[in-house]
Amino acid sequence: MTSFPETKEVRVEIHTFDKELLAHLFGAESVQPGDEIKEPGFLLRYERTFARKVIHFPQILHLCLYLSDKSSSQHAAAWLMSHLKKKQVEKLALDGVEVQFDASAIASQLSM
């Protein structure tokens, strides 16, 4: 695993009906647990997907976001919004707290 010397770790859950969202986020056809995206100021690692066999429930993507410092929360929030907007996202949770689907709300939660 890659990380930053001093990092803040944030658990990310994305509830979605979009089966292609994970591939879209990572820009790859196949994504495996442990795969990472490294951007200036943050790193996003895929952990697992929880999918129920019931058709009317979304799958839950579990990721871990590592922030290099407090100022990187704005960049990470903007990146998440740009990759999740116009996608079928039902819910976004950061460290177990449901977050409004808005860059400033995401950045605020990441800064806590």
Looking at residue 7, its pLDDT comes to: 80
Residue 63 above 90 pLDDT? yes
The residue among 46, 110, 47 whose CA lies nearest residue 75 is 110
Hey, what CATH topology would domain 8-111 get? TATA-Binding Protein (3.30.310)
> Per-residue pLDDT tens for 34-49?
999 999 999 999 999 9
Give dist(CA 71, CA 43) in Å, integer. 14
Give dist(CA 103, CA 50) in Å, integer. 25
Rounded to 10 deg, the angle between the 72-84 and 103-111 helix axes is 140
Average pLDDT (8-27) is 94
Residue 5 above 60 pLDDT? no
Q: How many CB atoms lie within 10 A of CB 99?
A: 20
